[in-house]
Structure 1
Amino acid sequence: MGAITTTLRKEAESIFTDLGYEVATDGPSLRAKRKWRVVDVVPMAEPEEPPASGQFRCFVTWSDSVDRVADRLTAADLDYEWALIGINEEDYEVSHPTTTGLAT
């Protein structure tokens, strides 16, 4: 795992911990649990092949890569709920897929 992905992973862990999730390492990804919900958190610095299955996934990338990663995820026509977090130096923005594009 490269330095960029490691940093994304740390940022993702911090975000989900701050939101009240219990976060655990799961290979290159994270698992965030709160109440009944388990979210697989996937750091993705650049567009790549997303996991084929799951229930709830949150992809985490840098703000300047959000559009490219979102295009890749949308093109994959995934059969699970997903969201995308774009991180910049000061904060982050969460986007969710819709039938007409990404809603923030």
Structure 2
Amino acid sequence: MATVTIPPTEEARNVFRGLGYAIEERGSEFVAERKWRRVQVTPLCADDAKEPGEMIEYGEGGGPRLRCFVTWMDCTDALKSYLQSAKPPYDWAIIGIEGEDDFEVVHPEPSVAPV
């Protein structure tokens, strides 16, 4: 595995290409598109995954309503907790990268309505 001080940018592109998405480059971030689905993909290093701050903000001009954050597997729990607390105004998921072709998708916990 690559060092966790750099974001898994190339790994993120490989995952989405492998899932049949077309990639629209936007610097370190990119938009992945397949059928009706447009996903803004943001690779995060370990430090950014623990304290993403502005990186989770919704960009100007709307953009895709779906976001996917890609980080190293051992950082997914901290990022998931942060996102659930922040309650961003878009649907999100996290992809945790373990090895070259090994990844896991992490979704938010479903909201529980008060009884």
TM-score (norm 1): 0.83
Kindly report the root-mean-square deviation, in angstroms, between the aligned alpha carbons of the 2 structures. Answer: 1.9
Aligned pairs for 1:45-60 (under 5 A) are 45=45, 46-47=49-50, 48-49=52-53, 50-52=56-58, 54-60=64-70
User: How many residue pairs get matched?
Assistant: 97
- Taking CA–CA contacts closer than 8 Å with sequence separation of 6 or more, which of the two structures ends up with the larger relative contact order? 2
Quote the residue 1:36 is aligned against.
36
Structure with the bigger percentage of strand:
1
| Distance in 2, Cα, partners of 1:20 & 1:68 | 29
Asked if 1:93 corresponds to 2:99, the answer is: no
Quote the residue 2:75 is aligned against.
65
The one-letter amino acid paired with 1:97 is: P
Structure 1 gap segments, 5+ residues each: none
Give the % identical residues.
39
The one-letter amino acid paired with 1:57 is: R
| Distance in 2, Cα, partners of 1:43 & 1:65 | 12
**Deviation of the 1:25 alpha carbon:** 1.2
| Distance in 1, Cα, partners of 2:71 & 2:77 | 10
Q: Which has the larger radius of gyration?
A: 2
SS of equivalent residue, structure 1 residue 97: coil
Give a deviation string over 1:37-68, Cα, whole Å, max 9, x none.
11000111223121236500000010110111
Structure 2 gap segments, 5+ residues each: none
| Distance in 1, Cα, partners of 2:84 & 2:44 | 14
Asked if 1:4 corresponds to 2:6, the answer is: yes
TM-score (norm 2): 0.76
